[in-house]
Amino acid sequence: MHLKVLLIVLLITLVVDNSDAKKRRKKKTGNQIATCKKTDIENLVSKLNALRTDTQGCCERSEDDAALYINLIEIKNNVTKARTIIEEVKTDVEEMKNDVTVKQDIEEMKNDIEKMKIDTSLMKELLEKMHNSQCESAATNPPEPETTELQQTTEVTANYPIDCSDKTGFTGVTIIQPEGQDSFPAYCSERCVYITRRFDGSVDFYRGWAEYQAGFGNPDGEYFVGLDNLHGLLAQGNYRLRIELTTWPPQNETRHAEYSTVKVADASDNYRLTIGQYSGNAGNSLGRHNGMPFTTKDRDNDPNSDNCAIRFKGAGWYTSGCHNTNLFGSYSSGPVCPARGVCMSWYHMFGNHSHSLKKVDMKICPV
């Protein structure tokens, strides 16, 4: 179209030029007319050449532009595809993050690994002790092959303390074995056996019956010693239960509640709690739980019409009104509990069920 317009313009120009030439011819001689015609033709050829060059350039530019446009469309399509894939991956990651089962499994595996690490370390110490003992024994007495293995087993078993009462000045994890019970690792400090440590929320306490029976977490970090171990420990003598409760900054205040009477029944009686003779400055929030069996989210032993463990996201010796303290409840990252009563709380310290503690230690100490 552009080329046609230009040709029409040129033809008009040529007609006008020819008209002008005719006028000039009336005034000029034959030679002058010939010269003019030659000049006109040369001008016309020159203009045609210029037009051809320009037209070719236009075509080439159009082809380049078209190729560029196609490339841009392809790039745009690829960007759209990439965005779609990113969105899909993002959704998958979110789903994985929200997969509570996977998170719990990973948490349990981590805890198991930590337990194995402690067990391995303690076994190593034990083996060294056995080796030294065997060497001393071999130096003084002739070996008796038929009974050596049994004697070693008996000796090893006898090496475990029944609690931490003799470990003055010791703080850390050790194996204890209450009389007639299985051995287990526990955290000890100031001659007390810690049955629960909570201080950073790294261990989930919203667990089922079997886990509360066996214990969970890491004795060197957050953990619960296990109901069977707790029963075995308390069954062998007179102990006091000391609970230390610490608030969040800026107060960082630690208060305590002590109970000079404390027993926990065995599994046949659902680990029923016997508690009394309170003293301390935190208030007697656990006193009301005296005589209650233990309840978890999958084992409702509480006298409330609901399962209090499910209702308050924890486990414990819940009452008909559920609780005055929910020390196995959710760990909150600040003093304000997101939902009333579900957090690690102690009613008589704050006069409400919405204040969450930063740190809790529950320990069994010699009387």
Q: CB 257 → Ca ion: shortest distance, Å?
A: 25
Q: CB 168 → Ca ion: shortest distance, Å?
A: 43
When the beta carbons of 207 and 242 are compared against Ca ion, the nearer one is 207
Rounded CA gap, 302 and 275, in Å? 17
Handedness of CA 91, 93, 94, 96 (dihedral sign): positive
When the beta carbons of 295 and 332 are compared against Ca ion, the nearer one is 295
Q: Is 137 in the site for Ca ion (CB under 5 A)?
A: no
When the beta carbons of 218 and 301 are compared against Ca ion, the nearer one is 301
Q: Is 17 in the site for Ca ion (CB under 5 A)?
A: no
Q: What residues from 280 to 309 belong to the interface with Ca ion (CB under 5 A)?
A: 300, 302, 304
Q: CB 209 → Ca ion: shortest distance, Å?
A: 14
Are 216 and 224 in contact by the 8 Å Cβ rule? The answer is: yes
Quick note: the x/- pattern for Ca ion over 24-63, rule CB under 5 A, is ----------------------------------------
Q: CB 97 → Ca ion: shortest distance, Å?
A: 33
Quick note: the x/- pattern for Ca ion over 304-333, rule CB under 5 A, is x-----------------------------
Q: Is 244 in the site for Ca ion (CB under 5 A)?
A: no
Rounded CA gap, 43 and 55, in Å? 18
Rounded CA gap, 121 and 123, in Å? 5
Q: Which two tokens stand for residue 330?
A: 């959710």
Cα–Cα separations (whole angstroms), residue 207 to 30, 111, 225, 362: 119, 14, 14, 18
Are 326 and 338 in contact by the 8 Å Cβ rule? The answer is: no
Rounded CA gap, 205 and 199, in Å? 12
Q: Is 228 in the site for Ca ion (CB under 5 A)?
A: no
- What DSSP character marks residue 357? P
Q: CB 295 → Ca ion: shortest distance, Å?
A: 7
When the beta carbons of 307 and 356 are compared against Ca ion, the nearer one is 307
Q: Is 209 in the site for Ca ion (CB under 5 A)?
A: no
Rounded CA gap, 296 and 300, in Å? 6
| Residues forming the site for Ca ion (CB under 5 A) | 300, 302, 304
